[in-house]
Amino acid sequence: MGHLKLLLDDDYKEEFSLIAIHCSEESYKMAFLINKHLGLRLKREKLDLDYSSNGLAVTFPLFQFTSNIQYNTYYLVANKCRSMEANVQSSGGLFSNDTSEKMVATFLLPEYKKVDFFMKIQSEFENIPLRKIIANINEIKQVISAYEVETDNLKSKNNLIFD
């Protein structure tokens, strides 16, 4: 009898550009600075980007702006989420439970641990003035650096699906 083998291919291809931003500001301040320097109107989404990682609920602040003139959608998302992990250890006694808490950092894209924010740009057209956008972001005084990320070789590309 023959064997049936199913191959699951990743057919979902979403074309987007991705900019990595190094900046130590809070996410709301970064969105404000980008709005000011790029002329966008990024607004925080009602629901943050959340998923579970190693039993911890992880949330990343997500900002979005859709330009009806240029047919572009801009997303700004933090790459790092800090959460408290509680460890309860029991030694068998009635009142001798030891509780310890430690701060755990979880990353949206673990292969870019030093990046603070990502700006994802989706366009219905192929020509996005990416160099101009990166140059404008780099002009922000609080930004250390910004550069384009090649999206073809991302291992955790599925974490960038915001719909």
Beta-bridge partner residues of 21: 117, 146
The model carries a pTM of 0.80
Q: Per the structure, how many domains does the chain have?
A: 1
Full domain range(s) for residue 108: 17-160
Residue 5 maps to a domain: no
User: What are the φ/ψ torsions at residue 133 (nearest 5 degrees)?
Assistant: -65, -45
Residue 4 maps to a domain: no
pLDDT digits (tens, 9 = 90+) for 77-119: 999 887 666 555 555 555 555 566 777 788 889 999 999 999 9
Q: Please check the confidence at residue 26 and state whether its pLDDT lies above 70.
A: yes
pLDDT digits (tens, 9 = 90+) for 38-92: 999 999 999 888 877 667 778 889 999 999 888 899 999 999 887 666 555 555 5
Q: Are 137 and 121 in contact (CB under 8 A)?
A: no
Residue 109 maps to a domain: yes
User: What are the φ/ψ torsions at residue 53 (nearest 5 degrees)?
Assistant: -135, 115
pLDDT digits (tens, 9 = 90+) for 124-150: 877 788 999 999 999 999 999 999 999
Q: How far apart are CA 70 and CA 75, in angstroms?
A: 15
